[in-house]
Amino acid sequence: MTTWTDHLCHQGARLTGTALAFADAATEARAAADATIAVPLLHLGVIRAVGPDSAPFLHNLVSNDVQKLAPDGAAWNSFNSPKGRMIASFLIWRETEGHALTLSADILPAFLKKLSMYVLRSKVKLTDASNDTLLIGVAGANAAAALQAAGLPVPSAGMKQLSNATGTRCIRIGDTMFIVAVAGDAAISLFDALVAAGAVKAGTAAWQLAMIRAGLPLITAATQEEFVAQMLNYELIGGVSFQKGCYPGQEIVARTQYLGKLKKRMYRVAIPVDAAPTPGADLFAPDFGEQSAGKLVNVAPAPDGGFEGLAVLQTSSAESGEVHLGSPDGVRLTLLELPYALG
């Protein structure tokens, strides 16, 4: 246990691996829906790329344009297999000496090892910075006010970032959603300041619900190499550049974009079950019979019971409105709105 997690436990947190909770699932879900929350993002980790070749090195490997990322910018991005299937999804931002990537902690060690294999003669150093740079998610109607009260500058637009004099970085990923990257020795005081400013202490599931409602997917070990970028609506949230040069999987991603109607998209769903469904679970629909019509991507408890999730589905199955979990006669899901149009 670290000083950070020890402090959180003294604040009432319960830890299960990288998952954290301050209250029961329903209470945390209601906080995510109705309040402003401050969440220690223990389920995410940070990779730091440092060196003069950081931008060209990453640019040649990922789906978005790293070379054109502004000094105050942040972007969704992905690393894909040669078949165009997403191995990792991540948020990337510029730093003084390179870049930082935040992704699911359960895939970080293997992804870092894979990424390091490409370094060769590039003047870039890749490290796991998860213990040095801690992440706190802040979301809700009063998120900006809480951040300002805690002494942080607040970016005025989405996918922008600002730092204060101590190097704490505030990244705006939505109208009312922020990720704060803070040095380990400053995380405790910042978290306490956010709570003192009115943010409700909340856990992993609360943040996951906020991300689901924002239509922002996260690749985890359960869903690696399952989806092409557009299946996760990645081009709709700014995670793909179709003007940049080649990268692993680029041909498949480009072909998916330009050759006909997309057959699969990501949807938000309500799942009326008591036990948490597993990411990667198969979904079924009458038009596909016994064959899987899609998979769950991310899942979190809903405020009024059951769960909400992001699910990749055949568009024809989604349009029919009848989708089942686990088997053709499994529990029926309800499609919910996303905050952006699927086009």
Which pLDDT does position 324 carry in this prediction? 98
**DSSP letters along 239-267, please?**
---SSS---TTHHHHHHHHHSS--SEEEE
From the list 75, 103, 96, 187, the residue with the least C-alpha distance to 138 is: 187
- With a cut of 90, say whether residue 99 has pLDDT above it: yes
Rounded to whole angstroms, how far apart are CA atoms 338 and 236? 12
Supply the pLDDT for residue 77. 98
Q: What is the pLDDT of residue 260?
A: 66
Where do runs of H (alpha helix) occur along 35-107? 54-59
56-74 pLDDT per residue, tens: 999 999 999 999 999 999 9
Is pLDDT above 90 for 261? Answer: no
Q: What is the mean pLDDT of residues 307-321?
A: 96
Helix intervals (H) in the chain:
3-10, 25-34, 54-59, 108-116, 143-149, 187-196, 204-213, 250-258, 315-320
- Given a cut of 80, whether residue 1 has pLDDT beyond it is no
Among 193, 144, 141, 139, residue whose Cα is nearest residue 166? 193
Interval 28-57 mean pLDDT: 98
Residue 34 has pLDDT above 90, yes or no: yes
Least confident of 151-155, 177-181, 262-266, 307-311: 262-266
Q: What number of CA atoms fall less than 13 Å from residue 274's CA on the CB side? A: 0
Read off the pLDDT band of 343 (50, 70, 90).
confident
| Locus of tokens 């999804």 | 89
* Mean pLDDT score, 259-263: 78
Express each pLDDT in 180-226 by its tens digit: 999 999 999 999 999 999 999 999 999 999 999 999 999 999 999 99
Q: Which of 242, 227, 256, 257 is nearest to 64 (CA)?
A: 242
Percent of the chain residues past pLDDT 90, beyond the cut: 97
Closest by alpha carbon to 65, among 157, 182, 159, 176?
A: 159
pTM: 0.97
Pairing of β 37-40 and β 200-201: parallel
Query: How high is the mean pLDDT of the chain?
Result: 97
Confidence category of residue 8, pLDDT binned at 50, 70, 90: very high
| Average pLDDT of the residues in 106-134 | 97
* Tokens describing residue 120: 């060769």
Q: Per-residue pLDDT tens for 225-249? A: 999 999 999 999 999 999 998 999 9
Identify the DSSP state of 162. E
The Cα 174–Cα 162 span in angstroms is 14
Instruction: Give 172's strand partners.
Output: 160, 178
Rounded alpha-carbon distances, angstroms, from residue 98 to 16, 69, 94:
33, 11, 6
C-alpha distances in angstroms, 274 versus 34, 178, 300?
Answer: 22, 30, 12
Give the Å distances, CA to CA, from 328 to 283, 298, 307, 334: 8, 21, 19, 15
3-state secondary structure of 196: helix
pLDDT higher at 260 or 75: 75
Region of residue 210 (phi > 0: left; psi between -120 and 50: alpha; otherwise: beta): alpha
* Predicted confidence band of residue 7 (pLDDT cuts 50, 70, 90): very high
Residues in a beta bridge with 23: none
Which pLDDT tens digit goes with each residue over 125-181? 999 999 999 999 999 999 999 999 999 999 999 999 999 999 999 999 999 999 999
Q: Residue 307 to residues 31, 42, 62, 271: CA-CA distances in angstroms?
A: 15, 21, 32, 5
The C-alpha angle 55, 168, 30, rounded to 5 degrees, equals 105
Residue 178 · residue 143 · CB < 8 Å: yes
Residue with the two structure tokens 């060769």: 120
Contact present, 159 and 74 (Cβ < 8 Å): yes
Spatial CB neighbours of 209, under 8 Å, sequence gap ≥ 6: 29, 32, 33, 300, 301, 302, 308
